[in-house]
Structure 1
Amino acid sequence: MKFNLTHNNFNVLDLEKSMKFYEEALGLKEVRRYEAEDKSFILVYLGDGQTSHTLELTWLRDRKEPYNLGENEFHLAFETDDFEKAYNHHKEMGCICYENKDMGIYFISDPDGYWLEVLPKK
């Protein structure tokens, strides 16, 4: 029996704002979308154009209050080929929420408060 990772999911309050953030911050683009017939939810899958793994953004029509992320001890990690340029870009965007200079990594936060780790290519 074999399993492959396909996607991760984040629920979002403002789908367009989140899609814009992920494209500007990480270069992720929409690769497919599913809209419920009754318009109660939309699923948008974002990809990096290099791997088959996607980030599913779920928008629920009736959801108005922010999601409770608990202690937010989960995250997605992104590797970059130009760490300094990425760091400067995210600093300019104002989305860096935590830095660990000893480990050589930092985290950015999306519009809903999800943390995303950025690390240099090994």
Structure 2
Amino acid sequence: MRFTFNHNNINVLDLEKSLAFYKENLGLVEVRRKAAEDGSFILVYLGDGVTGHSLELTWLRDWSAPYNLGDNEFHLAFHVDDFEGAHALHEKNGCICYENKGMGIYFIEDPDGYWMEIVPGKR
């Protein structure tokens, strides 16, 4: 028996704002979408164009309050081939929320408060 990664899911309040954030800051693009016939939810799967792993954004029509992300320090991590360029982009966009210069990494925060770790490509 062998298990392989398929996708990660996060819930978002403003789907269009989240899609723009992930495209602009991480280069993720929509690869698949599923919408409920009754309009109660929309699932959008984002891909990086390189790996088969995807990020599922779930929008729920009847949810209007910010999500409680808890204290578990959940995050996704991304390698980047141009660390300095990525840092400059994220600094310009005002989404860097934490830096650990000693480890050579930093984190950005999406519109719903989820953190993404940015790691240099050669680790």
Q: Is the 8 A contact 1:72 1:114 kept in 2?
A: no
Q: Give the gaps of 5 or more residues in structure 1.
A: none
1:43 CA drift (Å): 0.1
RMSD: 0.5
1:71 CA drift (Å): 1.5
1:72 CA drift (Å): 4.7
**Matches of residues 33-112 of structure 1 in structure 2 within 5 Å?**
33-112=33-112
Q: Is the 8 A contact 1:7 1:55 kept in 2?
A: yes
Provide the residue aligned with 2:3 in structure 1: 3
Greater Cα shift, 28-37 or 72-81: 72-81
- Give the distance between the partners of 1:12 and 1:28, measured in 2 at CA: 15
1:114 maps to 2:114: yes
Q: Give the gaps of 5 or more residues in structure 2.
A: none
Matched pairs, number: 122
- Give the distance between the partners of 1:73 and 1:53, measured in 2 at CA: 21
Relative to structure 1, the CA distance from residue 50 to residue 26 in structure 2 (aligned partners, 3 Å threshold; closer, same or farther) is same
Aligned with 2:86: secondary structure? helix
- Give the distance between the partners of 1:79 and 1:99, measured in 2 at CA: 15
- Whichever residue aligns with residue 10 of structure 1, its letter is I
Q: What is the TM-score normalised by the length of structure 2?
A: 0.98
- Give the distance between the partners of 2:10 and 2:70, measured in 1 at CA: 14
Greater Cα shift, 67-76 or 37-46: 67-76
- Give the distance between the partners of 2:36 and 2:5, measured in 1 at CA: 24
- Whichever residue aligns with residue 59 of structure 2, its letter is W
Q: Is the 8 A contact 1:72 1:115 kept in 2?
A: no
What percent of counterpart residues are identical?
71
